[in-house]
């Protein structure tokens, strides 16, 4: 199994567990009132969860949709419009992601069916060839009758082969159509995610004034702010809305100073993958700071280097997954 396959399987397992916890915890608003928008979006998500054909698909996007609905239920009036926009896009993204996964799985099934058909065709042709050889040896003295039988058998073989390959071509065509549909759904899901990320950025900008700054410490005359690994999705470089708002608040405090952004990971996983992930996260943080008006920002990733805690336990690994922002 490839690293990418293992990582995808682990991400889906974690997302499924988190989604189960989220579904067991009722939203704050549902316990208090009957907001029609919350009820409508929850109904859409429940219909998706009730579809047995989409079970276990698009779990990460379903979890985000559930969190967005909960955020809508708890939103204050001035935040309600943005929260509703995010929740609707998240529910749409969850539906698209589940359908894309289902179509991709259907394409895999059709591919396997096509391979089985081709294998069966090869075995059938080999069996027919063996029988032909036996008939030739048994009927060597009756050449005219043998020739007639061979002609008849060849006609049968051609019909069987034509039928077999017609079935294979049909399976291939269905698999190709499924792949194209899956690609289309994947693009739609990506567009939906991009819209959701944009909406999240707008919400973060609106919340920046009230957001809390990341924890900080003084190191050799410089101020170092630490953004925890929980500010990002598992294995991703996209910031949560809360972390985005906190960074925008930090940009207001930086003023004319320069900022150095460095990303770190724990020691789990391949070293090269960790290094690349730490660099993407540092770039994402730097992009928010630049967008918020900080002119001098550098970004780098160091992966597993410079741990601040023991990687042998979960708490230590959580502390090592961080992004440090140094102001001078």
Residue 313: predicted pLDDT? 94
Residue 189: predicted pLDDT? 58
Q: Give the range with max mean pLDDT: 49-53, 168-172, 239-243.
A: 239-243
Residue 223: predicted pLDDT? 93
For the ranges 86-90, 157-161, 319-323, the lowest mean pLDDT is seen at 157-161
Q: What is the pLDDT of residues 175-230, one digit of tens each?
A: 888 887 777 777 765 555 555 555 555 555 656 557 889 999 999 889 999 999 88
Distance of CA 120 to the CA centre of its chain: 36
Residue 141: predicted pLDDT? 78
pTM across the whole model: 0.42
Residue 79: predicted pLDDT? 87
Residue 32: predicted pLDDT? 45
Is 20's pLDDT higher than 80?
no
Residue 205: predicted pLDDT? 60
Residue 224: predicted pLDDT? 95
Q: What is the pLDDT of residues 247-280, one digit of tens each?
A: 999 998 887 789 999 999 999 999 999 999 999 9
Is 98's pLDDT higher than 80?
yes
Residue 158, CA distances (Å) to 114, 128, 164 in order = 19, 11, 10
More confident residue, 100 or 30: 100
Is 294's pLDDT higher than 80?
yes
Q: What is the pLDDT of residues 128-161, one digit of tens each?
A: 888 888 888 888 878 888 888 888 888 888 888 8
Architecture of the domain made up of 211-327:
2-Layer Sandwich (3.30)
Is 298's pLDDT higher than 70?
yes
Q: Where are the domains of the chain?
A: 1-207, 211-327
Residue 14: predicted pLDDT? 42
Residues 6+ apart with CB under 8 A from 55: none
> Average pLDDT for residues 285-305, to the nearest whole number?
94
> Which of these, 241, 255, 251, 149, lies nearest to 203 by C-alpha position?
241
Q: What is the pLDDT of residues 31-41, one digit of tens each?
A: 445 789 999 99
């Amino acid at each position: 199994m490839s690293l990418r396959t293992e990582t995808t399987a682990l991400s889906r397992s974690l997302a499924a567990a988190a989604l189960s916890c989220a579904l067991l915890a009722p939203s704050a608003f549902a316990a208090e009132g009957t907001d029609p928008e919350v009820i409508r979006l929850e109904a859409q998500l429940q219909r998706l969860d009730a579809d047995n054909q989409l079970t276990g698909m698009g779990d990460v996007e379903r979890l985000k949709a559930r969190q967005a609905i909960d955020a809508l239920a708890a939103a204050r009036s001035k935040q309600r419009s943005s929260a509703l926009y995010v929740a609707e896009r998240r529910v749409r993204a969850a539906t698209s992601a589940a359908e894309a996964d289902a179509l991709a799985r259907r394409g895999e099934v059709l591919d396997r069916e096509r391979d089985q058909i081709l294998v069966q065709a090869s075995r059938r042709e080999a069996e027919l060839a063996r029988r032909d050889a036996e008939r030739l040896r048994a009927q060597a003295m009756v050449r005219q009758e043998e020739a007639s039988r061979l002609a008849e058998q060849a006609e049968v073989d051609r019909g069987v082969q034509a039928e077999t390959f017609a079935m294979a071509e049909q399976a291939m065509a269905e698999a190709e159509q499924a792949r194209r549909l899956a690609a289309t759904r994947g693009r739609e899901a990506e567009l939906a995610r991009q819209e959701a990320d944009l909406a999240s950025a707008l919400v973060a900008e609106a919340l920046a004034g009230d957001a809390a700054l990341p924890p900080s410490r003084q190191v050799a005359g410089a101020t170092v702010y630490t953004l925890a690994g929980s500010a990002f999705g598992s294995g991703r470089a996209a910031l949560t809305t809360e972390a985005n708002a906190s960074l925008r608040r930090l940009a207001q405090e930086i003023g004319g100073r320069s900022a150095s952004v460095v990303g770190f990971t724990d020691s789990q996983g391949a070293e090269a993958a960790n290094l690349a992930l730490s660099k993407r996260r540092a770039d994402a943080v730097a992009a928010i700071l630049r967008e918020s008006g900080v002119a001098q920002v550098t970004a780098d990733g160091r992966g597993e280097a410079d741990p601040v805690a023991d990687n042998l336990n979960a708490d230590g690994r959580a502390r090592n997954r961080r992004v440090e922002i140094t102001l001078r």
